[in-house]
Structures are given as structure tokens and as C-alpha cells.
Amino acid sequence: MSGARSAELAGKVAAWIGSARWFAGKDGATPQVSIHDLAMLADGRHGLALADTPAGEGVGDAGTIRSVGPLDLATGLDCAATPACAGSHVRLALAGGETHGDRGCFVGRPIGGRSRPYGPGGTDWGKVTVAPLGADASNTSLRVDTLAADGRGKSVALKLLRRCRPGVNPEVECGRFFAEDADWHETPRCLGWVEYRPADAASPADRVAIATIHSFEPGCRSLWEHCLALVAEGGLDGPHRDTLRRIACSLGQVTARMHAALASRPDLPDFAPRPATAATRGALAKSLASHARDRLAHAVDAAPGLRERARLEAIGRSSGRIVAAIETVAFAGTSAADIRLHGDYHLGQVLIDTAGTRLLPIDFEGEPGRSLAERRSPGSVCKDVAGMCRSFDYLSRVAAGGGGADGGAAVDRPRADAGPLIEAFLTAYRESAQGAFWWPADPSESQRLLDAFMLDKAVYELAYEMANRPDWIDVPLSALEQWLTGER
């Protein structure tokens, strides 16, 4: 693509990318965009582009944010959900092919060998239909259905990893681990992925995972959507109270089995558990405290433009108390080993089937606002457990009207206490994890870790909602205010 054509395409992308939910550099201004690389798709009408934008405040990166976007080359619009683009991702990943740009190539990496009917010849590539799997978030998830000429069909889940970061992506790494190395089958099977390899790549650390393909689980939806629909019919204490508590118990058991699987291969260096020490707990405290200071400072800086200005500034004045409480994780104890984690565990990261009996954790990418190195590092399972506890609190607040327009079932009613659901989840988890080397033997150790991680998560949520869903700021903001007043 000529320089002039590239600049023209970049201008068209700049017109819409700032409003995309998955875009990490939101600051209210129209971003400057340049096209780093572009690979043409077979139809000549679409291309797979890597777009660069300057990093704004509070996004965790210096320099440039690189995003992946399948584009309509005539309009510059994102076309990830079109059969041509979604189908090309699936075919590339499962057939093991390559699509070349000027500076590198997009390479398909099938797991377990090439899959038919996605062969490189294309003669058996039939009709493709695409449907979104939930609303766009930090990534784009799609159901892709194919029907070959001989009548064979296949449905898969395509996840486009919008933020391009060089290195090993934990979504790919964990997907391969569960598919090939672990005896745990309570997550959709990873079938392959697509990565971008720069022409000058010297090692795997220079590659960028841009999409994953998993088996599609028919009849499932996110546990967040399921629970929100239940509480819409009367709240947490309504007619579905017992059902919600049964779900929380089952989720505690599934979560413990997930952690057991993640800790099951000490012979694999990238999944080997690591003993906790005073030094690692101290490093954790330092990292969490630094994260809290940075995010709370950014919240205060952004406060003048938000209706919650006074509340955010009050949180800022109390940031020292929040940071000091988080820092106590350094003295939590070291009886439990650190293991690989889910990393961004909440109700939206679990599927539930139509019968309400089968739960499937998904999306092992980790928190998108943290570096790949952080997301791949062993840590306390209390981080995942705390994340789910925070998610139950989110459920109670959104059900009471605390969320924005995309909250689904949010209504104006008094907030019910999420405590019974949290306790049901924690009790089931503790019983399932009892005696495991990765769960603290001392209840005071687990409680101190849980308290620190829940506070860290609320700070993370505040920064995330400010950048992506301003109408939802009240949810983590209220949680932090209640913590500060001792009402939790």
C-alpha cells in the first residue's frame, strides 16, 4: 500500500476507533492513527491491519498502542463480524496458513494438526455465518458457523485479541496447556490461534497473538447474563435466591478444580508452582501499592470532567489509607504456594448451560490493563477468588440500578446484600481446596490476601470503568467509599 493510501485509510480509522469499546487509548480526543502493517485478504476488499495510536494517560503503556482491526478497505470501517474476515481468521488458524503484509505475516497455529474442512486448498470451504458472542469488551468474541459443500458443519468461537502486545499471550498459553497437558475439561477446547510475526522477529517473544479459536459450546451464555436475568425477577432475595446460591456453590467447586489443574504440572516451567516467601509477598505488596497509587492519581486527574468529581476527589484524599491497607499483603503469610491463575476472574468469564448445571470458565487472558509478564506470573489463588467475590458485589449493585445502559437488567431498587452469595462461593471453594498446597492453611492468611486483592480489584475496576464505561463508575466507587467508611 502506498504512503498516500495508507494515510487515507488511517484517517478513516481515526474517525471511529476512539469510540470502540476495546480501544485502550480513550481520552476524548480523536486519536492520531498510522497503519503499521496491512495484509490483504483473498477477496481484495478487506484487509487485516495493525493500527498504531499514541498512548494516552492511564493506559499503562508508554509510547504507542497497537491494535488489530479487520478493515473494509473502501470505508476504513471495522469488519471483524463479517463472514469474509471472521472466516479468514478461522481458516488461517485451523489450516495453518500464512497471510503476508509489508512488514510481517499473519500465521495460523492449529493445535493437534490441521483441521478439515479448513484445508489450504479452499475447495471445501463453504458458507460462513457470524454472530456476536456478547457485547464488545477489551476483545471481540464471535460465533463462526461454517457449512462445507459436502454438508459438514462446524461452529467455533473466535476471539479477536484487539490489543497487540509482543510476547506469549496467556490466553494462548493456557489454551494449549488445557488442550495438551492438563487433565481438566471444564473449559472450551482451544483449537488454534493466529499470530503476527514481524519480518525482523528474532524470537517467539517478538510475535503477537491476535486471535484464538475455541470449540463452541451450544446452549451456553455468560454466567453474568444468567444471574442478572435471575435477579431482575425480584433481586438477590427474590424467587431465585436458592438457585443463585446453588450456582455460587457450584462455582466455588469449579474454581477449585480449575486451580488444581493449573497447579498440576510442576514439570512444565511455565506452569510450575512457586513457593511463597517473604520476598515474593513483599514484591507483591510493592506492585499492588504502585498500581493503586497510579490508578487513584489518574482518577483524580480525570475527575474535573465527570459528574462524580467530588466523590473521586474524596477517594483521592483517602488514597493513602487504601494503599496502606493493600500493602499489608506483605505480612499475609507464606503457607500457600503461588500458581498460574485465571487472572481476570468474574461472572462474565464463566459460561453456564441451559440446564443451569454446567459451568465453564473461559478467557484466561488476564486483566488487559496489566502487562503480559504480570499476567503470566504465578500468584496467590486468592486473586481469582477475590475477583469473583467482587463480581458478586457488582451483581448486587448493577441489579439495584448501579450500572449503565448495557447492564441488561438493571432497575431502580434497594441494593441487596451480596454477602450470602459470596459466602456460599467461598465456603464451597474452601471445602474443595482444603489441604491443597496452593490454598492457605491458616484462615488469617487467606483473609488478609483476599482483603488486599478485593481492594486492588476495586481500584482496577474504577480505572477500567472511567476509561470504558463512565456510566458504571458508581459501582466500584461505591465499593471503595463503603470500605473507607467501614460499612463493608
Q: What is the pLDDT of residue 476?
A: 94
Domain identity same for 101 and 237: no
Task: Give the pTM.
Answer: 0.91
- Residue 99 is which amino acid? T
Percent of the chain scoring above 90 in pLDDT: 70
**Boundary (domain end) residue, out of 186, 215, 244:** 215
> How many beta carbons lie within 10 A of that of residue 103, not counting itself?
14
pLDDT band at 414 (very low <50, low <70, confident <90, very high): low
Residues in contact with 380: Cβ distance below 8 Å, sequence separation at least 6, in sequence order: 276, 284, 336, 338, 449, 453
CATH code at position 388:
3.90.1200.10
**Boundary (domain end) residue, out of 215, 250, 274:** 215
The whole-angstrom distance between residue 257's C-alpha and the CA centroid of its chain comes to 20
Domain identity same for 309 and 441: yes
What 3 state SS string does 367-382 have? CCCCCHHHHHCCECCH
Spatial distance between the Cα atoms of 380 and 334, rounded to a whole number of angstroms = 10
Element (H, E) at 260: helix 241-262
Domain identity same for 412 and 289: yes
Contact 38, 1 (CB under 8 A): yes
> How many beta carbons lie within 10 A of that of residue 190, not counting itself?
25
Number of domains in the chain: 2
Domain identity same for 317 and 390: yes
The stretch 459-484 carries a mean pLDDT of 90
Q: Take residue 365 and report the three cell numbers written for it.
A: 487472558
Domain identity same for 167 and 283: no
Domain identity same for 211 and 224: no
pLDDT band at 60 (very low <50, low <70, confident <90, very high): very low
The Cα-based distances of 262 to 376, 385, 408 in angstroms read 12, 14, 33
Domain identity same for 90 and 229: no
Q: Take residue 452 and report the three cell numbers written for it.
A: 488486599
Domain identity same for 329 and 405: yes
pLDDT in tens, 262-298: 999 999 999 999 999 999 999 999 999 999 999 999 8
**Boundary (domain end) residue, out of 215, 235, 251:** 215
Q: What is the pLDDT of residue 413?
A: 52
Q: Take residue 96 and report the three cell numbers written for it.
A: 495453518
Domain identity same for 318 and 465: yes
Domain identity same for 274 and 203: no
Domain identity same for 102 and 207: yes
Domain identity same for 109 and 203: yes
pLDDT in tens, 290-328: 999 999 998 888 877 778 889 999 999 999 999 999 999
Spatial distance between the Cα atoms of 195 and 53, rounded to a whole number of angstroms = 20
Q: Take residue 37 and report the three cell numbers written for it.
A: 502493517
- Residue 233 is which amino acid? E
Which structural domain, as residue segments, surrounds residue 320? Answer: 220-485
